[in-house]
Structure 1
Amino acid sequence: MGIFNISGLRLIDLTDITLSGTLPSNIGSMLPNIELLYLAGLTNLAGSMPYSLSNCSKLTVLDLSLNKLSGSIPNSLGDLTLLETLNLVENNLSSDQSSQELSFLTSLTNCRNLKELSLSFNSLNGMLPASVGNLSTSLEKIFASDCQIKGGIPNDIGNLSILIYLYLNGNSLTGPKPETLGSLGRLQELSLANNRLKGSIGDSLCKLQNLGSIYLGENQFSGLIPKCLGNVTSLRGIELNSNRLSSNIPSSLGNLKDLLELDLSSNDMSGSLPAEIGNLKAAIRIDLFHNQFSNGIPREIGEMQNLVHLSLAQNKLQGSIPDSIGSILSLEFLNLSNNNLSGSIPMSL
């Protein structure tokens, strides 16, 4: 046997080494038995993804992340029926330009074992097809941040019943948030931030009793924060900043005893700050900057003993600064500017 015969290799891991050039066009015939292929973070791996990759029919992991690959993602990847992980993060890959939709996603519906799909930081420049709902019933993770994805989020995405992570932030998504997201009962993290989504947040997210983080900031959501969100006691982070939300903070959010971060800044919310905000005793960051909140600062705010960052700036708050704020010994950042506060600064501060 020649020492350069690599056809029997099942695992190749060349992650983070100094290697440049392109992937061989006949890589599929060179590595017919490859199962795990890690070629992430090479110094200067450029060129396109060879169509012959589809001949590596035993592949379960394909990691080409953190390279300089360009061209379209081949639809032939759908022939890798044993594929469990596809990681193409941080390249300059696109979709087939003959279609407005991300056609390679339709081809991946043949990969019935797919668990992780990572596409973030590419130039996909297309729309999510309805067929995204036909992806593997094993799919747990979708990472597609900053990919120039446009159009709406298909209702069919609600078919991905065991999805745990869904990251579509930093794209150009439009239209309403599909109510079918409420069917993703195992979802733990949802990020749709920094898009152009509009309409109401709706009650559908309240069905997600395993949800740990919601990132919906920098969109065009309007209306109310649903009261039932206070029933999702698994929540650790809520970011709804830079939208068009109105009305007040539901007192029910005080039920979220394990909440660490609440960011409602840069909206059009009004009314009094609820006394129940003091129940958020695990919180380390509360940001209510640039709203229309009025009346006084509740003294219960001093019960949040873990608070590090508190911003109530640019509101219409009145009255004195409660002494209780001075008892928050962990506090490092406090901004109360541009309000109608009066009286003296408490000695406790």
Structure 2
Amino acid sequence: MEMLQLSVNNLMGSIPTSIFNISPLQIMSLVLNNLSGNLPSNIGLWLPNLYAILLGGNKLTGIIPESISNASQLINLGLGVNAFMGPIPKSLGNLQLLETLKLDENNLTSGLSSSSPELSFLTSLVNCRHLQRLHISLNPLDGILPTTIGNLTASLETIYVDYCGIRGNIPSEIGNLSNLAFLNLAQNGFIGFIPSTVKQLGKLQRLYLHNNKLQGSIPNDLLCHLRNLGDLRLNQNELSGLIPECLGNITSLRYIYLDSNKLTSITPISLWSLKDLLEINLSSNSLNGYLPPQFGSLKVATLIDFSMNQFTRKIPSTIIGLQNLVKLSLAHNKLQGPIPDSFGSMVSLEFLDLSYNNLSDVIPKSLETLSHLSYFNVSFNRLSGQIPNGGPFANFTIQSFMSNEALCGVPKFQVPTCHTSSLHHLTRRLTLALYICLSIAFIILATTFVLLFIKCQRGNKTPTNVDLLPTITPPRITYQ
């Protein structure tokens, strides 16, 4: 037997020892079962012809045997999502044909020595000249990336080293991995700056550096060279300064996460030219300025979160262009003016948070047509008028409308009842009075105009008579 494929069943218990005696075996795939127990210490000696051993998604325990390096034909080693413990064997570097190494989601350690905190097993992988995929996420490695990471094979395409407790700086040598497409160093303890050498990774498609302690600005030329970048996540760091202007030139971008940093100034106008952007999150920064009319040009976007900033002025009516938007949060800003009635046309909207602003006027009744809207919050504004009660508003509570000026509606919202009939009657009376006043003013104005016209006509005849007086006066007669 050369191939054993029993993946995605409900197999339990240990892997029978007899399976490891099948020396011609080349592929063993037992992925996604409930297998437990240890791997035999001589696995590499008993199965020398293996080129793929895939045991991910089980409950296997114990250490990874050093002897696995004796299976010199091994191309694919997949032991992820188990409960393996102990150090990652440095002997893995002897697998010179290895292309895929997946050890993620275990309890593996780095085997640090007392003299060096560096992850030395990564140095041993320099010998694996065909390595393309390196996945060691979610292990308590608790060390420092060695500068030798830049000596890994140029064929390396993916590195996933997130949630590993790695500290220190990101080595600038990482820029040597010229074929890298996915780089995930998120959820660690990295400090210092983003290496400028990252701009050398021209084939990079995903850059995940979020949830670290990185500082400094986002270098403008860092992003300008990453023309294939589709997913950028630098959120939850300590980055400061401006959002690079050239971000809008990377037309391949689909996801931008820069939230929870210390970014300042306005958003670059080029950002709105990313017509294919799906998600953008700039929340929890110190961005200011206003939302331009081009805000509505992100026509395919499904998530926009600009909350916890200092945006001012009105919400542009061009927001009607965001027909695919599912989640929108503009909370905790300084926005003013009314809520645009065009929100009622955004039929995909499920989440809308406009709380903690200076919005005024009424809540548009058009929002009743948003059948998918499940979260709505306009608390802490200056809204007035009736709270709509149709459509999704039937499911909302007082938590959505707290601390506004003069809202009214049904009792469940804990606001005064709207006196719609009295208000309508008062409106009719005011309208009638206005018509009467305007009519009287028109009559007075017309009468005044006629009188002035007559007076002007009479005034024009008097000088004519005076001029003619000398011609009609009788001649003088003497006393005699």
Say yes or no: does 1:139 pair with 2:156: yes
Letter in 2 for 1:96: G
Deviation, 1:207, is: 1.2
- Any idea what the Cα deviations from partners look like across 1:281-300, whole Å, max 9, x if unmatched? 11111001111111221222
Specify the SS of the correspondent of 1:210: coil
Q: For residues 61 and 316 of structure 1, do their structure 2 counterparts lie closer, same or farther at Cα, with a shift above 3 Å needed?
A: same
Say yes or no: does 1:328 pair with 2:349: no
When the two structures are superposed, what TM-score results if normalisation uses the length of structure 1? 0.96
Letter in 2 for 1:61: N
Query: Does the 8 Å contact 2:52/2:75 carry over to 1?
Result: yes
Unaligned runs of 5+ in 1: none
Residue 73 of structure 1 corresponds to 88
Take 2:319 and 2:239, find their aligned partners in 1: how far apart are those partners? Answer: 27
Query: Does the 8 Å contact 2:72/2:97 carry over to 1?
Result: yes
Bigger mean CA offset, 290-299 vs 111-120: 290-299
Letter in 2 for 1:345: I
Structure with larger RCO (C-alpha < 8 A, sep 6+): 1
Deviation, 1:325, is: 2.3
Say yes or no: does 1:258 pair with 2:273: no
Residue 209 of structure 1 corresponds to 227
Query: Does the 8 Å contact 1:251/1:277 carry over to 2?
Result: no
Letter in 2 for 1:26: N
Take 2:170 and 2:317, find their aligned partners in 1: how far apart are those partners? Answer: 42
Say yes or no: does 1:165 pair with 2:189: no
Query: Does the 8 Å contact 1:278/1:301 carry over to 2?
Result: yes
Residue 9 of structure 1 corresponds to 25
Specify the SS of the correspondent of 2:311: strand
Query: Does the 8 Å contact 2:20/2:47 carry over to 1?
Result: no
Query: Does the 8 Å contact 2:20/2:43 carry over to 1?
Result: no
Q: How does 1:1-349 map to 2 (within 5 A)?
A: 5-43=21-59, 45-98=60-113, 99-203=116-220, 204-349=222-367
Take 2:349 and 2:50, find their aligned partners in 1: how far apart are those partners? Answer: 54
Deviation, 1:326, is: 2.4
Take 2:327 and 2:282, find their aligned partners in 1: how far apart are those partners? Answer: 13
Letter in 2 for 1:146: Y
Specify the SS of the correspondent of 2:266: coil
Q: For residues 242 and 59 of structure 1, do their structure 2 counterparts lie closer, same or farther at Cα, with a shift above 3 Å needed?
A: same
Bigger mean CA offset, 99-108 vs 327-336: 327-336
Take 2:43 and 2:49, find their aligned partners in 1: how far apart are those partners? Answer: 11
Letter in 2 for 1:324: S
Query: Does the 8 Å contact 1:323/1:346 carry over to 2?
Result: yes
Unaligned runs of 5+ in 2: 1-17, 368-480
Take 1:183 and 1:36, find their aligned partners in 2: how far apart are those partners? Answer: 33
Bigger mean CA offset, 12-21 vs 58-67: 12-21
- Any idea what the Cα deviations from partners look like across 1:258-297, whole Å, max 9, x if unmatched? 0010101111111112222211111111001111111221
Deviation, 1:3, is: 9.3
Take 1:84 and 1:72, find their aligned partners in 2: how far apart are those partners? Answer: 21
Take 1:334 and 1:3, find their aligned partners in 2: how far apart are those partners? Answer: 57
Deviation, 1:27, is: 1.6
- How many residue pairs get matched? 348
Take 1:215 and 1:333, find their aligned partners in 2: how far apart are those partners? Answer: 22
Bigger mean CA offset, 299-308 vs 68-77: 299-308
Specify the SS of the correspondent of 1:104: helix
Letter in 1 for 2:43: I
Deviation, 1:345, is: 2.1
Q: For residues 206 and 4 of structure 1, do their structure 2 counterparts lie closer, same or farther at Cα, with a shift above 3 Å needed?
A: closer
Structure holding more strand per residue: 1
Letter in 2 for 1:121: L
Take 1:219 and 1:206, find their aligned partners in 2: how far apart are those partners? Answer: 21
Take 1:17 and 1:224, find their aligned partners in 2: how far apart are those partners? Answer: 49
Take 1:256 and 1:324, find their aligned partners in 2: how far apart are those partners? Answer: 22
Deviation, 1:41, is: 2.1
Letter in 2 for 1:62: L
Q: Which has the larger radius of gyration?
A: 2
Deviation, 1:4, is: 7.5
Query: Does the 8 Å contact 1:16/1:42 carry over to 2?
Result: yes
Letter in 2 for 1:70: M
Take 1:302 and 1:180, find their aligned partners in 2: how far apart are those partners? Answer: 41
Take 2:144 and 2:292, find their aligned partners in 1: how far apart are those partners? Answer: 41
Letter in 1 for 2:50: I
Specify the SS of the correspondent of 1:214: strand
Letter in 2 for 1:31: L
- Any idea what the Cα deviations from partners look like across 1:180-208, whole Å, max 9, x if unmatched? 11111111111111111111111211211
Query: Does the 8 Å contact 2:48/2:70 carry over to 1?
Result: yes
Residue 422 of structure 2 corresponds to none
- Any idea what the Cα deviations from partners look like across 1:117-137, whole Å, max 9, x if unmatched? 011111111111111111111
Specify the SS of the correspondent of 2:214: strand
Letter in 2 for 1:165: F
Structure holding more helix per residue: 2
